[in-house]
């Protein structure tokens, strides 16, 4: 990987501009990815939050689902937030019958997992790799991770049933995913972690 990689943002739907803005703040070369040609031109990709069922349909319609699968399988680093986490999951629960994912992370993700009362909430989460200060995490009809495979490192959890709590941040090789939206709070530590992962990924 070059010292100055380009990190694209999948721009089918969702929080695209917010991620582009954070990457620009960090001085990272970025651009919106809306076609297989755009995808070819980036070194890594952020898949934003939004609505995963819509994103799945649009990815198919724009001819991006198979190129995305190929790039991820070939080792392109990617970071998925919320709906983007769902897109990077090998297996999902609570999806629609025709919902497709890109996959890549050996995990099972449950859509809209936090239920009605807590559809949206904000809480401090300790995330491995960004220092001890809890990250102010915004959850919006967020998924959680119900199962991780042996290659997956859990980076963060929120309190939940059982001692371990619910998994909300994971890493597998160059693939990272969080249930929450780090692009909304002005704290750039998670994006910086991803940029470091991208730079360190040969
Ligand atoms: N904020 C979000 O990205 C919500 C995700 C949404 N519930 C989905 O299933 O895609």
Question: Of all residues in the chain, what percent carry a pLDDT higher than 90?
Answer: 91
Q: Which residue has the tokens 């031109």?
A: 41
Model confidence at 93: pLDDT above 70? yes
**Structural domain span for residue 83:** 6-200
Is 189 within any annotated ligand binding site?
A: no
Q: How far is the CA of 54 from the centre of ligand 1 (A)?
A: 10
119 — pLDDT class (breaks 50, 70, 90): confident
Does 58 score more than 90 pLDDT? yes
Whether 20 maps to a domain, the answer reads: yes
Helix (H, G, I), strand (E, B) or coil at 139: strand
pLDDT digits (tens, 9 = 90+) for 102-111: 999 999 999 9
Q: Look at residue 1 and tell me if it is in a domain.
A: no
Q: Is residue 19 part of a domain?
A: yes
User: DSSP 3-state assignment of 123?
Assistant: strand
Asked if residue 18 has its Cβ within 6 Å of ligand 1, the reply is no
Residue 109 to residue 112: CA distance in whole angstroms:
10
- pLDDT for the residue numbered 83: 98
Structural domain includes residue 107? yes
Best CA proximity match to 25, nearest among 199, 200, 182: 182
Res. 202: pLDDT tops 60:
no
Reported as a pLDDT band with limits 50, 70 and 90, residue 179 is very high
Q: Are 92 and 109 in contact (CB under 8 A)?
A: yes
Q: Is the CB of 48 under 6 A from ligand 1?
A: no
How many domains are there within the chain? 1
Residue 112 has pLDDT above 80, yes or no: yes
pLDDT above 70 for 25: yes
pLDDT tens, residue by residue, 140-168? 999 999 999 999 999 999 987 767 889 99
- Does the C-beta of 83 come closer than 6 Å to ligand 1? yes
- Rounded to the nearest integer, the mean pLDDT of the chain is 95
CATH number for the domain harbouring residue 138:
3.40.50.880
* 193 occurs within a structural domain: yes
């Amino acid at each position: 990987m070059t010292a100055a990689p380009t990190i694209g943002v999948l721009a089918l739907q969702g929080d695209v501009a917010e991620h582009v803005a954070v990457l620009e703040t960090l001085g990272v070369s970025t651009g919106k990815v809306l076609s297989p040609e755009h995808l070819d031109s980036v070194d890594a990709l952020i898949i934003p939050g939004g609505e995963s069922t819509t994103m799945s349909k649009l990815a198919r319609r724009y001819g991006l689902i198979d190129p995305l699968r190929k790039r991820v399988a070939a080792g392109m680093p990617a970071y998925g937030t919320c709906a983007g986490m769902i897109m990077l999951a090998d297996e999902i629960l609570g999806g629609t019958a025709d919902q497709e994912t890109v996959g890549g992370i050996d995990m099972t993700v449950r859509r809209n997992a936090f239920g009605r009362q807590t559809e949206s909430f904000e809480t401090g989460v300790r995330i491995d790799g960004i220092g001890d200060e809890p990250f102010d995490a915004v959850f919006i009809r967020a998924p959680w991770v119900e199962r991780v495979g042996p290659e997956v490192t859990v980076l963060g959890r929120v309190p939940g049933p059982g001692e371990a709590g619910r998994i909300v941040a994971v890493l597998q090789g160059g693939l990272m995913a969080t249930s929450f939206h780090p692009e909304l709070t002005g704290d750039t530590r998670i994006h910086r972690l991803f940029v470091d992962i991208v730079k360190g990924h040969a």
